[in-house]
Amino acid sequence: MMRTEDEERKEQKKKHIMQAALKIFSRKGYSPTALDEVAQEAGIAKGTLYLYFKDKEDLMYNTLMSVHDGLKERMMEVIAEDMPPLEILEKIALIMFEYFHEHDEFYNIYLTILNYNLLSNYTHLFESMMGRKKELYDFEFHLVEEAKHLHLIRDDLATIDIVMAFDGIVMNILDQIFFLKTDEEFNPGQKAKMVMRLFLEGAGRHGR
At 180 the pLDDT is 66
Read off the pLDDT band of 205 (50, 70, 90): low
pTM of the shown model: 0.82
For residues 87 and 141, state if they share a domain: yes
Report whether pLDDT(202) > 80: yes
Full residue range of the structural domain in which residue 176 is found: 63-207
Read off the pLDDT band of 103 (50, 70, 90): confident
- Closest by Cα among 131, 137, 150, 133 to 87: 150
At 165 the pLDDT is 93
At 115 the pLDDT is 55
For residues 89 and 14, state if they share a domain: no
For the segment 109-132, what is each residue's pLDDT rounded down to a tens digit? 776 665 555 555 667 777 787 788
The DSSP line for 102-135 is HTHHHHHHHHHHHHH-TTTTSHHHHHHHHHHHHH
Distance, CA of 2 to CA of 6 (rounded, Å):
11
At 1 the pLDDT is 58
Domain assignment present for 76: yes
For residues 173 and 115, state if they share a domain: yes
Asked if 41 and 23 count as a contact pair (C-beta separation under 8 A), the reply is yes
- Closest by Cα among 123, 3, 132, 16 to 65: 132
Region 30-46: what's the mean pLDDT? 91
Phi, psi dihedral angles at 84 (to 5 degrees): -60, 150
At 208 the pLDDT is 47
For residues 11 and 80, state if they share a domain: no
Domain assignment present for 8: yes
For residues 99 and 71, state if they share a domain: yes
The domain total for the chain is: 2
For residues 114 and 34, state if they share a domain: no
Residue 76's alpha-carbon distances to 66, 73, 80, in angstroms, are 15, 5, 6
Domain assignment present for 58: no
For the segment 67-99, what is each residue's pLDDT rounded down to a tens digit? 888 888 888 888 788 899 999 999 999 999 998
At 61 the pLDDT is 86
For residues 67 and 134, state if they share a domain: yes
At 52 the pLDDT is 94
For residues 72 and 46, state if they share a domain: no
For the segment 157-198, what is each residue's pLDDT rounded down to a tens digit? 999 999 999 999 998 888 877 766 665 677 899 999 999 999
For residues 34 and 70, state if they share a domain: no
Asked if 50 and 91 count as a contact pair (C-beta separation under 8 A), the reply is no
For residues 98 and 140, state if they share a domain: yes
For residues 27 and 125, state if they share a domain: no
